[in-house]
């Protein structure tokens, strides 16, 4: 069995797989990682391998603890890819984007796939039916847009997203909600339409923390998958077992 670990700035996401089959997932604060790691190992003692992806500073004690129990692989730019990477600066490609494209390569072979990750940032990543990755785009995410309106002005409040948002805001708060939520939805739909006009039979995957909030607002047909990044990490781990 495999354990994959995605370390973010605040949260750690962990998932257990039996080869390619998803078993369970756990999300915890960074300070609670070791306790949750030990609980997973106790519950799934057959776990033997681990893949760690980190976009934040990580305590060396974590890696030492993992290596005491499991065969550890750390995701780095040097690790063999499951796709042809045509990114102009491959060493700068984030681990999260690498994992997402890997999942698309495995789950949707010989298809044009656009992966949209709606998290702190919104990332757009495109892989062709020939398994070639060209790149995509990075845009401010939902919370970042609300925060920017508050941080870079003197009078606009810090708001939280709301479910019911009108196109025409009839107050300052409602105008902010419209600007952020209607705007971000129009942006995503616009990007999808632009890709669809150039690439036929485009498969669209939406993932990330804000995926469920946004998916019902999008006009385009998409597949929402909250575990897509974790599945990609597991596929990279499985792929590198045979290297």
Give the three-state DSSP class for 125.
Answer: strand
The residue among 78, 82, 136 whose CA lies nearest residue 109 is 82
Half-sphere exposure for 228 (CA within 13 Å, toward CB): 30
Give the three-state DSSP class for 53.
Answer: strand
Q: DSSP letter string over 2-33? A: EEEEEE-SSEEEEEEEETTEEEEEEEEEGGGH
3-state helix, strand, coil in the chain (%, to 5): 40, 25, 35
Alpha-carbon distance of 8 to 209, in angstroms, equals 12
State the helix-helix crossing angle for 142-151 and 183-198, rounded to 10 degrees. 130
Give the three-state DSSP class for 139.
Answer: strand
The residue among 171, 176, 243, 178 whose CA lies nearest residue 217 is 178
The owner of tokens 């045979």 is 242
Alpha-carbon distance of 80 to 182, in angstroms, equals 40
Alpha-carbon distance of 68 to 143, in angstroms, equals 38
* Marked catalytic residue, from 6, 96, 125, 210: 96
164 in catalytic set: no
Catalytic residues, which ones?
96
């Amino acid at each position: 069995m495999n354990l994959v670990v995605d370390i973010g700035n605040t949260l750690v996401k962990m998932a257990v797989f039996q080869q390619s089959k998803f078993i369970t997932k756990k999300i915890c604060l960074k300070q609670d990682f070791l306790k949750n790691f030990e609980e997973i190992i106790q519950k799934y003692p057959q776990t033997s391998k681990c893949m760690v992806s980190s976009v934040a500073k990580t305590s060396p004690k974590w890696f030492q603890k993992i290596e005491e129990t499991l065969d550890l692989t750390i995701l780095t730019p040097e690790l063999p890819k499951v796709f042809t990477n045509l990114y102009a600066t491959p060493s700068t490609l984030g681990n999260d984007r690498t994992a997402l494209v890997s999942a698309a390569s495995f789950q949707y072979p010989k298809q044009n796939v656009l992966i949209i990750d709606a998290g702190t940032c919104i990332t757009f990543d495109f892989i062709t039916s020939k398994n070639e990755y060209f790149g995509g785009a990075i845009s401010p995410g939902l919370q970042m847009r609300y925060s920017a309106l508050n941080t870079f002005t003197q009078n606009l409040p810090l708001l939280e997203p709301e479910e019911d948002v009108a196109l025409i805001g009839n107050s300052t708060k409602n105008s902010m909600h419209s600007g952020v939520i209607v705007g971000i939805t129009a942006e995503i739909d616009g990007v999808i339409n632009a890709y669809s006009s150039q690439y036929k039979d485009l498969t669209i995957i939406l993932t990330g923390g804000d995926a469920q909030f946004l998916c019902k607002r999008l006009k385009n047909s998409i597949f929402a998958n909250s575990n897509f990044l974790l599945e990609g990490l597991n596929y990279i781990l499985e792929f590198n077992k045979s290297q």
